[in-house]
Structure 1
């Protein structure tokens, strides 16, 4: 498998359906998520691989499950970033960790909740209270808001500002500063008379990307014959809107994130933050039960609102059943006993989160210091 990074540029507004039902008439408003689920990218890129003969279409349709599985495994999706290349800014953005906050009177002043062991401390903005005497508190005694619907600059990770907030303010941008909502009104027409049907007015919203805002998609692809074109066009999201792609050449910016984080770990440790890069499915809904069964103590957690995710099954040729997922940016504060190596903890978490080829279940292990 060859690792590649694609810079994907929207050529139009993009529409990404949510899990809400929409039929027109009675339900006249359909919501669009601002950003697509990872599987949307997987489907668009996989279709392109079929077009260029990297994937054998006949084997995908084959009744032989081994052949079909082999073809589907030719593409593995990794992390998805937003990239700002406007006027030399050159920034990569990730889903904001939900244990971050900003001062209500000054959004530029940011911080990260600190986990402390103190039964009398005030609990701040955590929607899961694990072990009772572990509390999340803000650094300052001021009115604050938890970060949501925002992105964090990757330099906040690679420069360790997120891990050590006293080094400076986090670089956090709200969604609206990079992507705007665009609204469209339509009406269903009768196929015979080509006239508007009564009561069938509807509205949809879509995502309008600001100038020089792109996606950067990490992927691994089986391409022995080097058929993968270095640039081209894809259809992405609802209505098959057009996007262009080319190889992203600044891979060092991405590799630096992991390298810097790994340098923060001791040989073995027992406190950690678990950060979700992408939506993650758990049988229990929240992942709390699965993490406990794997031997982790959940000290606290900052979890986003549950997402409902569907999709289309190309093998069964029908829509997939809706599933609930914990959203990207969610944070779990964990403890292991005894201390374990990074590799051992990563292995255990892989079994719990089950990262898949379509980009769900991706995570990062982050150091955690507890104030006893």
Structure 2
């Protein structure tokens, strides 16, 4: 596997914004995500690399080109239970559960006769029978993805609700007038904070330092070492986290099963991280001769950030798709899964657009 793995464990509760601008007229609660956007881990890991490589840090800031996106690549982000050694990602959005916690699969059905401007050719149907509802805020064991999930064996799928992994805390804040420096009436608010439910849980992040780029740049005389162990800061409040390099055979097996050739036919693309396309999803897939047949997703997310080179200016906000989104597609020509993964990754940066491609059998 090309990527290194770093285990990151927050020392305290954290705040991870969701990209939406806070408005007192709508709510007085600022919500925190369970897992931050991949770009947050990108910033934290790159800062840790700078901190632990003195010569590189000096050269990077003297360089002034801010070529950090060429130097560091972020892959998949996982949730890790140190006691069971199990690894999880966001669960696919074509899974349903009933009141007895029985898992079933939604089925994409041809809807060509009822198309409108907002529709795709296939829609996801709720399983027949009991009171099934699409799962929300759940996580799936990665060992299930290429096995019980791809084979539609619901009884073998292991899911965990977010409440089994995270707890939410709240702290009170109050708005201050920038001119008078006094508190403003009606500007009392709550900040939601995220914390793992116990000390067994942590994040695992795939990262890679682009050694080839470094060798052919102004850094060619500088050795840039991978991370070992130490502390980094994460999230909107820069909370300290312990980190250490690890190896995980489950992640190794998960990634090894991604490779292979794709014959012409219908497949599911499962987004395993937040995903966005600067020119739109339809434009991206059409450009690469892939036809979208259907989508199962949640409400849109909004992905922005800050531009280091622009002195902290806010970047353009993009409309995106949550991890767990399922896209039904048709490949018309033989392709290689590696090529598709690379196309998706190249259309974004900083750890977005990770996915798994699985054959869909009707």
By how many angstroms is 1:282 displaced? Answer: 2.0
Please state if 1:181 is matched with 2:172: no
Please state if 1:225 is matched with 2:217: no
For residues 67-108 of structure 1, the C-alpha deviation after alignment (integer angstroms, 9 at most, x for no partner) is x42x542211000000112xx3111001111111112x112x
Contact 1:75 1:220 (C-alpha < 8 Å) held by counterparts: yes
Is there any run of 5+ residues in structure 2 with no aligned partner, and where? 212-221
By how many angstroms is 1:231 displaced? Answer: 0.9
Please state if 1:163 is matched with 2:125: no
Name 1:35's counterpart in structure 2: 35
Please state if 1:73 is matched with 2:70: yes
Please state if 1:215 is matched with 2:198: no
Aligned structure 1 segments of 4 or more residues deviating by more than 6 angstroms: 23-27, 189-195
SS at 2:343 equivalent: helix
Q: 1:181 to 1:337 in 2, by over 3 A?
A: same
Name 1:141's counterpart in structure 2: 129
By how many angstroms is 1:188 displaced? Answer: 4.9
For residues 6-59 of structure 1, the C-alpha deviation after alignment (integer angstroms, 9 at most, x for no partner) is 111111111012223337799643222222000000001111111122643443
More displaced 10-residue stretch of structure 1: 172-181 or 161-170: 161-170
TM-score normalised according to structure 2 size: 0.84
SS at 1:12 equivalent: coil
Q: 1:274 to 1:46 in 2, by over 3 A?
A: same
Is there any run of 5+ residues in structure 1 with no aligned partner, and where? 123-127
Count of equivalent residues? 348
Please state if 1:101 is matched with 2:96: yes
> Residues 238-253 of structure 1: matches in 2 within 5 Å?
238-250=236-248, 252-253=249-250
Return the alpha-carbon distance in structure 1 between the equivalents of residues 2 and 335 of structure 2. 28
By how many angstroms is 1:222 displaced? Answer: 4.4
Name 1:110's counterpart in structure 2: 103
Q: 1:302 to 1:186 in 2, by over 3 A?
A: same
Please state if 1:202 is matched with 2:197: no
By how many angstroms is 1:257 displaced? Answer: 1.3
Q: 1:288 to 1:75 in 2, by over 3 A?
A: same
For residues 118-162 of structure 1, the C-alpha deviation after alignment (integer angstroms, 9 at most, x for no partner) is 989x9xxxxx7422xx4544554222111221111112124x100
Name 1:347's counterpart in structure 2: 339
More displaced 10-residue stretch of structure 1: 347-356 or 185-194: 185-194
Contact 1:16 1:34 (C-alpha < 8 Å) held by counterparts: yes
Q: 1:254 to 1:352 in 2, by over 3 A?
A: closer
Name 1:22's counterpart in structure 2: 22
Name 1:125's counterpart in structure 2: none
Q: 1:27 to 1:259 in 2, by over 3 A?
A: closer
Please state if 1:51 is matched with 2:51: yes
Return the alpha-carbon distance in structure 1 between the equivalents of residues 135 and 58 of structure 2. 44
Name 2:282's counterpart in structure 1: 288
Return the alpha-carbon distance in structure 2 between the equivalents of residues 227 and 91 of structure 1. 28
By how many angstroms is 1:197 displaced? Answer: 5.6
Return the alpha-carbon distance in structure 1 between the equivalents of residues 344 and 224 of structure 2. 35
SS at 2:204 equivalent: strand
> Residues 288-367 of structure 1: matches in 2 within 5 Å?
288-318=282-312, 319-338=314-333, 340-343=334-337, 346-348=338-340, 350-351=342-343, 354-367=346-359
Return the alpha-carbon distance in structure 2 between the equivalents of residues 119 and 12 of structure 1. 51
CA RMSD of aligned residues (A): 3.3
Contact 2:344 2:354 (C-alpha < 8 Å) held by counterparts: no
Q: 1:266 to 1:249 in 2, by over 3 A?
A: closer
Return the alpha-carbon distance in structure 2 between the equivalents of residues 11 and 278 of structure 1. 24
